[in-house]
Amino acid sequence: MRFNWKEYYSIAEQLFNNPGQVSSSPEAVYRLVISRAYYSVFVQSRNYLRDVIGLKIPKRDVHRYVSQTFTDSQNQTSIKTGIRLIKLSAYRNLADYEDNLFEAKSVAQKALRLALQVATDLDKL
């Protein structure tokens, strides 16, 4: 049975709304929210390109490939999807690699909003 990647978004949203439900600092929770929100729609986007469009997805630079494939499209919804994936990827890189993440809650909220927009865009395509 294939994993439903939308569940990552659901978990991220639940954690954002109740960061005290886990025994970690709020910043750690918000970092996790950002990361899971990104991966939820990144994998959905990758799978769309692979399963619906029929593209062969490379092993190297797959994140860049997915977002660039959307932004290189002539379709406005696809272009918006690619731009949103790029922004989400930047947030995810901050959350996963930077020692200092200022306004983590605000970034997490933006990440959730962008991820929801990407999921909505994918449903339109």
Does residue 92 surpass a pLDDT of 90? yes
Looking at the whole model, is its pTM more than 0.95? no
What tens digit of pLDDT does each residue of 48-79 get? 999 999 999 999 999 999 999 999 999 999 99
Q: What is the pLDDT of residue 1?
A: 84
pLDDT(24) > 90: no
Non-local CB neighbours of 121 within 8 Å, separated by 6+ positions: 77, 78, 80, 81, 84
- Please state, in angstroms and rounded to a whole number, the distance separating the CA atoms of residues 37 and 40: 5
Single out the residue of 96, 95, 72, 99 nearest to residue 83, CA to CA: 72
Tokens 């690699």 found at:
97
